Chain A
């Protein structure tokens, strides 16, 4: 589904990604863990070209990077993204947040878009919040709306950039539950997270990033219970 070959990314002189190689299969849930500054967010943002890779290749659905660049907006319609800071549109109601893109970009009728949005709001457990403005919602509710908004475009992959890091502890669960449900339905997901419990339970594969490379990866079983390399052990020793 997504193939990443020798991905490098510089910010000015600072090298953030130093050759990332991986292959993400359809319906796979990949959790990316690692210390801050290890390049995991940058890696994720390269996957929908919010960050322009300096070199390397990203093949999504058989389409290479050069081709994606030509039609970047179409690519992004297939790749949903959820941000740490939610980034809901504050001047729009929940309903408008969710329906804007399907109506404007997919030419969906208002009735159809609203119907889909209601289904999605049900799914994320917020059926009665359609007319609220984002600033009236709690952090956890905002993030669930943000997930619904991304899902409204019917993406093939969902990218999550530390989706629970800006939340109060008591709200982390509600967001993770929605993500869990999504994973169970077979959504392909790449999740940058500090929630080791979630990674262990939901992840098909754990990727530990360190200093701009995938330092070690494996099933949750392998990585959490029998880490082979030194820095993985060190990191897990600190967070578990």
Chain B
């Protein structure tokens, strides 16, 4: 029993306390959260434009958006990240967090596009007809009638996408960005303990995603109430 407690306290000491290693995790978490936030914002903007392009009636724009979504969804995120880092943005002196945010934003945009599209298509067809029959143009019907209703469908799915995105950013270490996962890796490199740092990392991710899921459920409840 003593030896178990001893080895546990040793593990905590070496992996968290010594050389202030807990700071690695905290800074890593900061990077992960920042990255998720920026990528989520960019992804939402890209996704909105893609969805409108796909729903609109301009054929070549629709084709372009479809191609974008297919390529992004059909290739691994880590490959996209590395390609964007080396081929596109690596040549400039942009900070890695910016490069990674752009890469994850581009990736997330494809998924957000489908969420928004589905949310808009879920609004009853009669709503558009009623708006058009009053004399509203297509775009005004969208703005005043369709999108406000679609947001209700979209918000929960969008929040869920951001939770997924947070975990996706765990591959940011591929371009040597010191996010939470890479913090675990760095500490492991110093302590030669494979378990403890990654258990800590896992617990932190779990804590954050659980909190976000709890918030999401509250949001869904509020949206349902107003029905």
Quick one: given A104-B144, A135-B227, are A83 and B137 in contact (CB under 8 Å)? no
Which one of A74-82, A120-128, A168-176 is at the B interface? A74-82
Cα distance, A73 to B135, chains bound together (Å) = 4
Q: How many whole Å from A140's CB to the nearest CB in chain B?
A: 18
Contacting residues, chain B, for A90 (C-beta < 8 A): 149
**Hey, what's the 0/1 contact readout for B95-132 against A, CB within 8 Å counting as 1?**
00000000000000000000000000000101101111
Give A residues with C-beta under 8 Å from B.
48, 50, 73-74, 76-77, 79-81, 83, 85, 87-91, 100-101, 104-105, 135, 146, 149-150, 153
Contacting residues, chain A, for B134 (C-beta < 8 A): 76-77, 100-101, 105, 149-150, 153
| A85, A87, A100 interface centre (most CB from chain B within 10 Å) | A87
Q: Are B132 and A74 in contact (CB under 8 A)?
A: no
Cα distance, A43 to B216, chains bound together (Å) = 47
Contacting residues, chain A, for B129 (C-beta < 8 A): 50, 83, 87
- Interface: B30 (CB within 8 A): no
Contacting residues, chain A, for B218 (C-beta < 8 A): none
Q: Are A83 and B130 in contact (CB under 8 A)?
A: yes
How many A-B contacts if CB must be within 8 Å?
Answer: 57
Quick one: given A90-B149, A91-B148, A91-B149, are A81 and B140 in contact (CB under 8 Å)? no
- Interface: B3 (CB within 8 A): no
Contacting residues, chain B, for A79 (C-beta < 8 A): 133
Main secondary structure on B side of the interface with A: helix
- Interface: B145 (CB within 8 A): yes
Q: How many whole Å from B58's CB to the nearest CB in chain A?
A: 18
Q: Are B140 and A104 in contact (CB under 8 A)?
A: yes
Q: How large is the interface on B (under 10, 10 to 19, 20 to 34, 35 or more residues)?
A: 10 to 19
Contact of A48 among B131, B133, B152 (CB under 8 A): B133
10 smallest A-B Cβ distances: which pairs? A87-B130, A77-B135, A87-B126, A81-B133, A101-B134, A76-B135, A73-B135, A91-B148, A105-B135, A85-B126
Known: A79-B133, A89-B130. 19 other contacts (CB 8 A): A48-B133, A50-B132, A50-B133, A73-B136, A76-B132, A76-B134, A76-B135, A80-B133, A81-B130, A83-B126, A83-B129, A87-B124, A87-B126, A88-B130, A91-B148, A100-B134, A101-B134, A135-B227, A153-B134
Find residues 213-227 in chain B having any chain A CB closer than 8 Å to their own CB. Answer: 227
Cα distance, A83 to B126, chains bound together (Å) = 8
Q: Are A74 and B130 in contact (CB under 8 A)?
A: no
Q: Which residue of A lies closest to B144 (CB)?
A: A100
Contacting residues, chain A, for B137 (C-beta < 8 A): 73
Quick one: given A83-B130, A85-B126, A87-B129, are A105 and B136 in contact (CB under 8 Å)? yes
Cα distance, A115 to B126, chains bound together (Å) = 27
Q: How many whole Å from B77's CB to the nearest CB in chain A?
A: 35
**Hey, what's the 0/1 contact readout for B147-167 against A, CB within 8 Å counting as 1?**
011001000000000000000
Find residues 71-88 in chain B having any chain A CB closer than 8 Å to their own CB. Answer: none
